[in-house]
Chain A
Amino acid sequence: MDESETTVTEESKELAYERRVVAVKESIDQYHSYLRHYLFNMTRQWQDAENLLQDLWKYVLLRFDEDQIGSLPLLRRKAYQLFIDHYRRIVRRGEALSDTPPEQMTKPMMTEAYSESEESALKEKFWSEYPGIALDEKQKEVLWLHARYGYTYKEIEEKTGIAGSTACDWIAHGRRCLSEFINRQ
Chain B
Amino acid sequence: MTDQQNNSSPDFDAKEVDNLIANFGVKPSPEKREELHQMLGAQKEQFIKSDLQQINDQDKDRSGR
Contact = CB atoms under 8 A, between A and B. Distances in A.
Given A13-B52, A30-B24, A1 B59 contact: yes
B19 A38 contact: yes
Given A126-B21, A126-B25, A6 B37 contact: no
Contacts of A79: 9
A34 B36 contact: no
B11 A33 contact: no
A52 interface: no
Given A13-B47, A13-B48, A33-B27, A80 B40 contact: no
Given A37-B19, A58-B39, A179-B17, A29 B46 contact: no
Interface in B8-54: 9-28, 32-33, 36-37, 39-41, 43-44, 46-48, 50-52
A174 interface: yes
Given A6-B52, A57-B39, A87-B4, A179 B12 contact: yes
Contacts of B23: 31, 33-34, 36-37, 108
Contacts of B2: none
Interface residues of A, number: 60
Interface string A151-185: 00000000000000000000010111011001100
- Give the most central of A30, A33, A126: most B CB within 10 Å: A33
Given A1-B59, A17-B47, A176-B14, A108 B26 contact: yes
Nearest to B55: A9
Q: Which 4 A-B pairs have the closest CB atoms?
A: A80-B9, A147-B21, A33-B23, A34-B23
Interface of A: 1, 6, 9-10, 13-14, 16-17, 20-21, 24-25, 28-34, 36-38, 42, 50, 54, 57-58, 61-62, 72-73, 76-77, 79-81, 83-84, 87, 108-111, 114, 122, 125-126, 143-144, 146-148, 172, 174-176, 178-179, 182-183
28 contacts: A9-B55, A13-B48, A13-B51, A20-B47, A25-B37, A28-B28, A28-B33, A31-B24, A33-B24, A33-B28, A34-B19, A34-B24, A34-B26, A54-B36, A58-B39, A58-B43, A72-B20, A77-B9, A79-B9, A80-B10, A108-B23, A109-B22, A143-B17, A147-B17, A147-B18, A176-B14, A179-B17, A183-B11
